[in-house]
């Protein structure tokens, strides 16, 4: 549709977009006299009051009103466009829960048989439920678009942290690796192998909780033909997956949980010394993974416990049989070197009775009502008794002084 040039045209686009229910539309339409006649100015006012997001307003002003709603989810803002699809911050229409919607590229969703395999595999990933795994809430299709609905977590990935801060303290790095191992352990127990374990796919939330994400390359060991990689590409992020790729996976050989052990070992290597085990172009790195052992960490990281260096060397062994067979074995190797987890914070006293709830903007008017003055605090029983005693003492002193003056 053409870009709206008048206020009624703009509001009509909003109505057709499905972003508002009828009650919200009539609430805004009933205040036309308070809205600027210019669509851009009205859009800015609606964004200011939370009726639209900046992304939604921009698209509507361009005449675009389709694609904002996918099934039960309303798109709020774009987050990223990567090889594996486009990500949006979204909201469940009924539950009002914020999520991330990942759209599959149309060119990867044209193969019907591959799409069926993808949904079967995605259901296996959705069955994972662990604090250290970024949760897949839902899968769906709407308006010809196929999408995943992921947990919305705030924080940063370890690749970002590594690029900014460099190597980490051994105890802190191992503690993060242990969290990743715990999440991957559940995936392996349910016959799902991640196949893309690297710093970018380890996401640290506010508070220090680590979540394994990037299940786009996951493969079920129960159904060897299922492979999300064919639909989602080689993953997202800045660091080349080749830096953390197990040798057998690079060769296209069958993989099991030990390819994730290798990826986690290479990731821990990078966290400890500030760079992946091998350097060079992608082909050169792949060759080194196949033909060379990673340089010993003990010679690269001052003060590193030799046993920790040996544990990482085992995790990144070229031969599959030389690695720990499970994430449980990995955890046993690494636990002695991890920082102790921080104790849970003490519960804070409830402040609901002291802090008024935030006011919900129900009108487009910018006027603000003056708030009533806070009530005078009532005195407690002990304070009242103290004041009464002081008054009695004052009275007695005054009476005594009067008698003395009379006597003289």
Residues known to be catalytic:
196
Cα dihedral 183, 186, 189, 190, rounded to 10, equals -110
Nearest-10 crossing angle of helices 170-189, 327-334: 160
Terminal Cα distance for the chain, rounded: 104
Helix (H, G, I), strand (E, B) or coil at 173: helix
Backbone φ, ψ for residue 317 (5° rounding): -60, 140
* Bridge partners (DSSP) listed for residue 130: none
Where residue 307 falls (left for φ over 0; alpha for ψ -120 to 50; beta otherwise) is alpha
Cα separation, 351 vs 96, whole angstroms: 24
What six digits make up the tokens of 44?
A: 């800015």
Q: What is the spatial distance between Cα 156 and Cα 159, in angstroms, rounded to a whole number? A: 8
Dmax of the chain from CA atoms?
Answer: 116
Which SS3 state, helix, strand or coil, does residue 203 take?
Answer: strand
Q: Is 46 exposed, middle or buried (0-12, 13-18, 19+ CB in 10 A)?
A: buried
Give strand ranges (E) for 210-257. 210-212, 219-220
In sequence order, the 6+-apart residues with CB closer than 8 A to the CB of 55 are 75, 76, 77, 78
* Number of Cβ atoms within 10 Å of the Cβ of 376: 6
Q: Do residues 188 and 240 make contact, with C-beta atoms less than 8 angstroms apart?
A: no
Q: Facing residues of 175 across strands?
A: none
Q: Which residues contact 338 (CB under 8 A, 6 or more apart)?
A: 171, 174, 175, 178
* Tokens at 396, concatenated: 């007695």
Half-sphere exposure of 260 toward its Cβ, with a 13 Å CA cutoff?
A: 32
């Amino acid at each position: 549709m053409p870009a709206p040039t008048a206020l009624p045209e703009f509001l009509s686009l909003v109505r057709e977009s499905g972003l508002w229910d009828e009650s919200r539309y009539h609430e805004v339409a009933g205040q036309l006299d308070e809205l600027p006649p210019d669509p851009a100015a009205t859009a800015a006012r609606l964004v200011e009051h939370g009726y639209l997001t900046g992304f939604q307003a921009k698209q509507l002003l361009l005449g675009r009103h389709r694609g904002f709603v996918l099934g039960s989810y309303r798109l709020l803002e774009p987050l990223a466009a990567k090889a594996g699809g486009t990500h949006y911050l979204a909201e469940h229409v009924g539950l009002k829960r914020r999520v991330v919607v990942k759209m599959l590229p149309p060119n990867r969703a044209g193969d019907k048989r591959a799409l069926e395999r993808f949904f079967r595999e995605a259901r296996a990933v959705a069955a994972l439920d662990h604090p250290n795994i970024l949760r897949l809430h839902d899968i769906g299709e709407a308006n010809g678009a196929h999408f995943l609905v992921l947990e919305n977590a705030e924080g940063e990935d370890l690749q970002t942290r590594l690029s900014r801060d460099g190597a980490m303290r051994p105890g802190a790095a191992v503690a993060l690796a242990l969290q990743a191992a715990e999440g991957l352990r559940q995936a392996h127990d349910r016959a799902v192998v991640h196949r893309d374990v690297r710093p970018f796919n380890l996401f640290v939330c506010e508070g220090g909780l680590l979540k394994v994400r990037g299940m786009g390359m996951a493969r079920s060991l129960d159904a060897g033909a299922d492979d999300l990689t064919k639909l989602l590409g080689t993953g997202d992020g800045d660091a080349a997956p080749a830096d953390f790729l197990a040798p057998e996976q690079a060769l296209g050989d069958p993989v099991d949980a030990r390819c994730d052990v290798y990826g986690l070992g290479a990731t821990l290597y990078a966290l400890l010394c500030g760079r992946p085990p091998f350097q060079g172009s992608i082909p050169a790195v792949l060759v080194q993974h196949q033909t060379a052992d990673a340089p010993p960490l003990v010679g690269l990281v001052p003060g590193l416990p030799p046993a920790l260096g040996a544990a990482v060397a085992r995790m990144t062994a070229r031969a599959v049989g030389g690695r720990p067979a499970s994430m449980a074995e990995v955890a046993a190797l690494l636990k002695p070197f991890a920082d102790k987890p921080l104790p849970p914070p003490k519960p804070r006293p409830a402040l609901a009775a002291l802090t008024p709830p935030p006011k919900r903007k129900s009108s487009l008017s910018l006027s603000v009502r003056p708030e009533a003055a806070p009530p005078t605090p009532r005195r407690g029983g002990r304070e009242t008794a103290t004041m009464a005693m002081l008054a009695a003492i004052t009275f007695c002193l005054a009476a005594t002084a009067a008698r003395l003056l009379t006597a003289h």
